[in-house]
């Protein structure tokens, strides 16, 4: 005769096998994630359909308005809406593109004129002398550049004089 504990274990294992399968936490969370993903996908599809229907109605409204008569809205807003919906450039936008080309050409011509105006003037002899003194002092005092304050001050004065002369000429 089997022992009572062995009999009990056999009965318990048979009843547990007959019952519904036991799910682990990981299995339950995967199932839940799958259900949520399905619901989100369904909602996204629903929103896409609504959006495409709205775009279709707006396109028909705009086409009927443009065929009928000019609307009370400013023309540029209406054309902008058409461009946004259809993705095609309007006649005004095409005109603006051509005007932007003309602006680019004008900018190029102005650049050429500026390049022609550029004059490389030789440096004033006093400024050149002051510059060379600063460079020489800095080479001598490479470890103590603050000792060249007098030469730097002379150079600044010469450059300031040159700037004032330029301003007077212009």
Confidence of residue 42 (pLDDT cuts 50, 70, 90): very high
* Residue span of the structural domain in which 40 resides: 32-90
Residue 80 makes CB contacts below 8 A (sequence gap 6+) with: 90
Q: How far apart, in whole angstroms, are the C-alpha atoms of residue 130 and residue 161?
A: 12
Domain count, the chain: 2
The pLDDT assigned to 69 comes to 52
Task: Indicate whether 34 pLDDT > 80.
Answer: yes
Tell me, what DSSP letter sits at residue 147?
G
| Residue 101 maps to a domain | no
| Residue 85 maps to a domain | yes
Token reading at 75: 């023309």
| Residue 40 maps to a domain | yes
Token reading at 74: 């400013």
| Residue 4 maps to a domain | no
Cβ neighbour number for residue 158 with a 10 Å cutoff? 19
**Are 54 and 85 spatial neighbours (Cβ–Cβ below 8 Å)?**
no
Confidence of residue 37 (pLDDT cuts 50, 70, 90): very high
Task: Indicate whether 100 pLDDT > 80.
Answer: no
| Residue 113 maps to a domain | no
């Amino acid at each position: 005769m089997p022992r009572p504990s062995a009999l009990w274990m056999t009965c318990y294992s048979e009843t547990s096998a007959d019952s519904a399968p036991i799910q682990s936490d990981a299995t339950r969370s995967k199932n839940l994630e799958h259900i949520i993903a399905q619901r989100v996908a369904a909602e996204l599809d629903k929103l896409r359909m609504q959006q495409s229907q709205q775009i279709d109605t707006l396109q028909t409204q705009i086409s009927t308005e443009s065929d009928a008569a000019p609307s009370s809205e400013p023309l540029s807003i209406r054309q902008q809406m058409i461009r946004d919906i259809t993705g095609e450039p309007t006649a005004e936008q095409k005109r603006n593109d051509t005007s932007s080309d003309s602006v680019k050409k004008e900018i190029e011509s102005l650049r050429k004129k500026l390049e022609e105006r550029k004059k490389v003037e030789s440096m004033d002899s006093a400024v050149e002398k002051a510059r060379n003194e600063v460079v020489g002092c800095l080479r001598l005092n490479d470890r103590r550049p603050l000792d060249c304050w007098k030469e730097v001050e002379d150079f600044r004065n010469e450059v300031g004089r040159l700037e004032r002369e330029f301003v007077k000429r212009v």
